[in-house]
Structure 1
Amino acid sequence: MEVAKQLVKTTTPKLKLAALLWLEGFKEGCCLHRAVILCLRSRKLLVRTGQCFLFNGFIFLGSLFILNSVVIPTLQRILPDQCSQLGSHKFCDFGGILKFYSFLRLGLIDFFYVFWVYPLYVFSMVLCVIWYNDIAKHGYDAMGRSKSTVEESSSQTKSLEKANASNTKRLSGLGGIMIGIGEQVYSLILLNVFFLKVYATGFVPFIGKVLSFVLHSWMYAYYCFEYKWNFNEVALDKRLDYFQSSWAFFSGFGSPCVLSLFLFSRLVGYGIMAILFPLFVLTAIGCKGDQEISLEKSKWRGVKMGRLPIFYIADKVSMWILSLIRRIMTRQKTTKLDDSR
């Protein structure tokens, strides 16, 4: 009994602090007006954001709207699946006619998906990767146009820049290039493994949806802030450590970003996400609350937030993949040397 009371006494303040930081992160994530301000400062940013909005909102979501509101109802009338919808009941005497209509209707719908919706989906993903990088770059440039903005943002990155200063010396010359390439490869594998983990949690019974929502929030929050950290040249190990130390804040920041994925169907949710994601990227670039909360509010009534190993499984799997690749390359090199002899 005493152990239980002691456990409650020690965990309650931490839960309160986590809730406080989550709310702060959620509030920061909802500050989409920062994206509007940055767009008004930069014409290039406004054009890129407008292109992203038009393609994903007007063309992609518009195509889904036409398919569901016009094409499918029209096919349902032309190729009905019930006798009451047929003009003559003579066709009902032929049992296979309704099955043929149903098969033909579903085939035409699949045709629209395969040759129109899915190609748009893939094309949107490719374009968005390019557009998001441009949007982040133009947004970061727009941040530098205001002296007050520079003064505000400078306080955000001082701690990370100091922590990253020790890595600056080693990132020079050919060795630095190789380390940079290695970090990029590791980061790519890590995030892809983490994405698979997020996707897999959705199939967990009972709590799968909740776990998936939380992990999606962290994943998209990391994506949003990664652009900012890249521009500030923050080392990968520093950003991962910082992210996992401020897990409650980033969970709150990513929550409004992923709501569309859970409120709508997969394709519609993706289309809405593709429209809103650049706004959250710009919000993250203009966000000064992440550093302030991590540094100034990490202690609350003497309570410290612990580091949550969010990327632990992804890190272990990534390191295993890299070691496997290294063994394969070493084996191939040894085989070539033996053959040359």
Structure 2
Amino acid sequence: MERILSFAAKLKQASFLWLEGFIEACCLHRAFLLCRRSKKLLIRTGQCFLLNGFIFLGSLFLLNSVLIPTLQWILPDKCSGMSSHEPCLHDSVLKYYSFLRGALLHLLYIFWFYPLYRFSCILGILWYDDIAKHAFAAMENNGRNLLKPSGSDEVAAEHKKAPMEKPPGLEGVFVGIGEQVYSVLLVIFFSAQVHAVGIVPFVGKALSFVLQSWMYAYYCFEYKWNLSEVPLDRKLDFFETNWPFFVGFGSPCVLASFFFSTYVSYGVMATLFPLFVLTATSSSSQQLIFSEREKWKGIGLGRLPIFCIADKLSRRSFSSVPWILDMMNRALSLATTISAFLINTLTSKARNA
């Protein structure tokens, strides 16, 4: 009986935390307030809306609603597609029309849509980082310190933890680069995990929705944590310990694009993602989480190993980096030795001549 009551209490706490995260993600008015504070932020956010919402989604709409039906009308694949008074075309002619229509569509995709998609992906990566930086600067300029968001004892204790000191000099630079590479690998493997789970029968869609919610929540908050110089291990600890809040925060992000086709989902998500990044940057997530914990003293949800598989794969991949660097160093040393030998040989020949 006690176990049932304990489980019910934990389920209720998780539900409240999920709701807090969901509501926090829906506070999109904060994004507009931040854009009012910073002209650079407003311009960069507007560029994202223009590229992804107007050009990319507009191109997709034009392709599916205008160009493809027009080609289908000009180059029909069956007799019923033509007017009744025209004689039915021979099968070979219809096959030629089908081939020609497919070739024209492929040319449109290759020279227009696919380059636009890649261009949007690359610019999005650069612009989202700029958006987070401008938002962070706008909040600091307006007197709000993101690193000290609460006066509660538990939050204060959380921030008083001594940060991991990076080694000075060049070694510290390499440690920082290593953390960034490891973080990228972690996200790549977790994204692969999301796609793999999606093909599981019956429960695949539901599991994919939950994992995507965590993935987008991590994307949104990672910008803020990187600007706050939060170590990677503390990011993962905080994220996995408070998993209901973050699955709630990521749910609106996924709901906005989950039921569309692949490219439409990307266009919708790429258009709305800056708003969620701004919401996460201006979020007081730690106050909300710890205030909710205060209501449930003695009942802990525990840490959920969300990134367990991605972490193991990242560590294995990352462990090969020193070997690769060592091979590159050996190759460089060998090339230097050969170059020195050739230079000495040519110099001696020139002197003898």
**Same fold by TM-score, threshold 0.5 exceeded?**
yes
Separation of aligned partners in 2, 1:252 and 1:159: 25
- 1:69 Cα deviation (Å)? 1.4
Report the TM-score when normalising by structure 2. Answer: 0.86
Separation of aligned partners in 2, 1:152 and 1:179: 23
Aligned residue number for residue 282 of structure 1: 278
Q: Which amino acid aligns with 1:110?
A: H
Separation of aligned partners in 1, 2:259 and 2:148: 34
Aligned residue number for residue 102 of structure 1: 98
Contact 1:139 1:285 in 2 (8 A): yes
Aligned residue number for residue 232 of structure 2: 236
Separation of aligned partners in 1, 2:27 and 2:315: 37
Contact 1:160 1:238 in 2 (8 A): no
| 1:10-32 Cα distance to aligned partner (Å, 9 max, x none) | 32211111111001000000000
Contact 1:139 1:282 in 2 (8 A): yes
Aligned residue number for residue 294 of structure 1: 289
Aligned residue number for residue 19 of structure 1: 15
Aligned residue number for residue 211 of structure 1: 207
Aligned residue number for residue 349 of structure 2: none
- 1:328 Cα deviation (Å)? 4.8
Contact 1:161 1:234 in 2 (8 A): no
Separation of aligned partners in 1, 2:234 and 2:147: 21
Structure 1: unaligned runs, 5 residues or longer: none
Q: Which amino acid aligns with 2:99?
A: F
Change (3 A) 1:120 1:160: farther
1:257 aligns with 2:248: no
SS in structure 2 at match of 1:263? coil
More helix by share: 1
Instruction: Quote the sequence identity (%).
Output: 54
Contact 1:190 1:315 in 2 (8 A): yes
Aligned residue number for residue 42 of structure 2: 46
Change (3 A) 1:155 1:318: same
1:1-341 equivalent positions in 2, closer than 5 A: 5=1, 7-87=3-83, 91-92=87-88, 94-147=90-143, 149-150=144-145, 154-155=149-150, 158=156, 161-163=159-161, 165-168=162-165, 170-288=166-284, 290-298=285-293, 300=296, 302-330=298-326
Structure 2: unaligned runs, 5 residues or longer: 338-353
Q: Over aligned residues, Cα RMSD in angstroms? A: 2.5
- 1:122 Cα deviation (Å)? 0.1
- 1:151 Cα deviation (Å)? 8.0
Separation of aligned partners in 2, 1:91 and 1:107: 25
**Larger mean Cα displacement after TM superposition, 53-62 or 105-114:** 105-114
Separation of aligned partners in 1, 2:264 and 2:26: 21
Change (3 A) 1:36 1:333: closer
Separation of aligned partners in 2, 1:267 and 1:220: 17
Contact 2:79 2:89 in 1 (8 A): no
**Larger mean Cα displacement after TM superposition, 38-47 or 324-333:** 324-333
Separation of aligned partners in 2, 1:90 and 1:58: 40
Number of residue equivalences: 332
Report the TM-score when normalising by structure 1. Answer: 0.89
Change (3 A) 1:228 1:151: closer
Bigger-Rg structure (1/2): 2
Separation of aligned partners in 1, 2:271 and 2:240: 27
Contact 1:38 1:139 in 2 (8 A): yes
- 1:40 Cα deviation (Å)? 0.6
| 1:13-60 Cα distance to aligned partner (Å, 9 max, x none) | 111111110010000000000000000111111011111101111111
- 1:92 Cα deviation (Å)? 2.4
Q: Which amino acid aligns with 1:44?
A: K
Contact 1:83 1:89 in 2 (8 A): no
